[in-house]
Amino acid sequence: MTLSLKAITKKFGGRTILHNLDLNVGDGECVALLGPSGCGKSTALRLIAGLDQPESGSISIDGTEMNNVPAEDRRVGMVFQSYALFPHLSVRENLELGLRMRGSHGAARDQRITTILEVLQLSHQAHQRPAQLSGGQRQRVALARALLRDPLVYLLDEPMSNLDAQLREELRPELKRLMLGGSQPVVYVTHDQQEAMALADRIAVMRHGRIEQIGTPRELYHHPATSFVAQFIGRPQMNMLSAGQGQTLGIRPEDLRFDPNGIPCEVESREWHGASQMLLIRCARGQLRLVCPGDQQIGENPHVSWLKTSEHLFDDQTGQRIDD
């Protein structure tokens, strides 16, 4: 099963939201659309689902063009940020409704629902309404509904952004096990790069309606194609320093090291994160972020350096990577 978007353009009110977007998601592959608000990632998801129509270009699933196929016939399993559950129906009734609308009845339907409730540890909440559930439980119901559709493609739009950090960490393994282990392509929209790197096989970093770079999390981290990608992938953010000659030098905070023969600096602030700490330091070349072990003792005026091999060079005008 494959998903393909070719030369997709979408406009709203005369403003172009997507510019000739190309994207291919392979059999069982998860591709995350990652980028800041307004970059077009949720618009792309709505076009795949059939909730909106593109101005031009084609969308196909397993070689069949979907442009003129109604949303209800596209067999996509979509999970929204807002859960989109019917508040007056119980958990089981919310799941039954979708199956009933698709003509599924009787004991087989009931058994499918019972099984998915057990898998997602929702059996005891089957007769409760959404308002009686925690945020994590409501998101599990939304996942259950998508799984019961037996879809050709999974589409997830910021599915965990309403949950706290601990709940997101708890749900990630379940999500990976249930949705990312089959043959269906998965498109996962998020603005959280940590979530994208944890779940996706490839990440498409979007900016102004275009894909700036697509690759594996490792590729994007070690070989960012532009200064935008370099700063968007990796936390804390990559340090950017003027290198002269119209170039910007990028150094990741974790690649800085203490060196008595290095550049003299002054510590401006510290953030302790347990196993690590992040220092904001200032030197003659500007402000730098540095990550080091949490138990390391550092004076107020350290000297730092970095290896030549850890440098990333970018063109000041275009933002494009400059390879040696």
Q: What is the pLDDT of residue 106?
A: 67
| Residue 25 CA from chain centroid, whole number | 15
pLDDT > 70 in the chain, percent: 97
pLDDT of 79 over the 80 cut: yes
Mean pLDDT of 122-144: 87
The winner for highest mean pLDDT among 111-115, 175-179, 311-315 is 311-315
Residue where the block lists tokens 């070349």: 285
Residue range 154-199, pLDDT digits in tens? 999 888 877 778 878 877 887 777 767 678 899 999 988 888 998 9
User: What's the predicted TM-score (pTM) here?
Assistant: 0.88
Q: Is residue 119's pLDDT more than 80?
A: no
Residue 246 in contact with residue 289, Cβ under 8 Å? no
Classify residue 271 as left (phi > 0), alpha (psi -120 to 50) or beta.
Answer: beta
43 and 94 in contact (C-beta within 8 Å)? no
